[in-house]
Amino acid sequence: MNRWAVEAYDLVKTYGNGKVRVYALRGVDLKVKQGEIVSIVGPSGCGKSTLLNILGGIDKPTIGRVFVCGEDVTAMNEAELAHFRLKKIGIVFQFFNLIPTLTALENVELRLAASGCGNGVRKDKACELLARVGMNGKEGRKPSELSGGEQQRVAIARALANNPAVVLMDEPTGNLDSITAKDLITMIDKLNAQGQTFVIATHDSSVKESTDRVITMRDGVVIDG
């Protein structure tokens, strides 16, 4: 098996066309080992979210290639990408992660159901995932009945559903009312025991300090790490 969970080569991402072109990434090279916990830091607007979205197969780079577990993500068609996101990637956004009409349990179940997991097993698996992020007892609540931090825990549980190789988190501790850095670190340490790879965009120094490696970005390039 490939020892790299994530490989990115010469990623360039531009927005807009014609005269006004915004460069979000200007040639990023990156490799993350399997089981590694990596944080990406840098000032706001330096391209962290853009990079995570490209690694997760949600966005396409203008130039460059991305491999996850040896598979060329940049060469996949729409259906293959959906399947890749379902099976290989778990993603947690900064805000509004959950489907508002579904309960915490159903939000997790939805991802399991999408990969063909049957009714009975699915419920048990989803309960277990929620327990792993400390959400047991709140399975039946709707997102509107959960605090911001609790919503993020559910999003993390959902990201872990289907046992993805890589979990991507975009500033999970960034705001008021989000999960605390301390809780996140304990949780990730526990989850990482399963061999999952974590890539976390953050500007929280305590998160940064507890990861295996820190990658620093500025103006769309990696300047350190």
Ligand X SMILES: Nc1ncnc2c1ncn2[C@@H]1O[C@H](COP(=O)(O)OP(=O)(O)O)[C@@H](O)[C@H]1O
Taking the complex as a whole, how short is the minimal distance between the CB of residue 79 and another protein, in angstroms? 6
Taking the complex as a whole, how short is the minimal distance between the CB of residue 196 and ligand X, in angstroms? 22
Q: Using a CB cutoff of 8 Å and minimum separation of 24, what contacts does 13-18 make? A: 13/47, 13/50, 13/54, 13/59, 13/61, 13/62, 13/220, 14/62
Which position among 1, 17, 18, 44 is part of the footprint of ligand X (CB under 6 A)? Answer: 44
End-to-end CA separation in angstroms for the chain: 24
Question: Is 49 one of the binding residues for Mg ion (CB under 5 A)?
Answer: yes
Near another protein in 149-188, by CB under 8 A = 158-159, 162
Nearest to 169 by CA among 68, 40, 47, 58: 40
Q: Among residues 51 and 135, whose Cβ is nearest to ligand X? A: 51
From the list Mg ion, another protein, ligand X, none, which binds 46 (C-beta under 5 to 8 Å, kind-based)?
ligand X
Near ligand X in 13-42, by CB under 6 A = 15-16, 22, 24
Site residue total, another protein (CB under 8 A)? 39
Taking the complex as a whole, how short is the minimal distance between the CB of residue 17 and ligand X, in angstroms? 11
Q: What is the C-alpha to C-alpha distance for residues 53 and 48, in angstroms, rounded to an integer?
A: 9
Q: Among residues 102 and 221, whose Cβ is nearest to ligand X? A: 221
Assess contact for 10 and 63: CB atoms under 8 A: yes
Taking the complex as a whole, how short is the minimal distance between the CB of residue 117 and another protein, in angstroms? 11
DSSP state of 195: T
Which position among 37, 48, 56, 179 is part of the footprint of ligand X (CB under 6 A)? Answer: 48
> By three-state DSSP, how is residue 112 classified?
helix
Which position among 9, 23, 59, 65 is part of the footprint of another protein (CB under 8 A)? Answer: 59
Q: What is the C-alpha to C-alpha distance for residues 72 and 188, in angstroms, rounded to an integer?
A: 27
Phi, then psi, of 203 in degrees rounded to 5? -125, 25
Q: How many residues are there in the chain?
A: 225
In sequence order, the β-bridge partners of residue 28 are: 11
Q: Interface with Mg ion by CB under 5 A: which residues?
A: 49
Q: Interface with another protein by CB under 8 A: which residues?
A: 53, 56, 58-59, 78-79, 82-87, 89, 91, 93, 95-102, 106, 109-111, 113-115, 118-121, 123-124, 158-159, 162
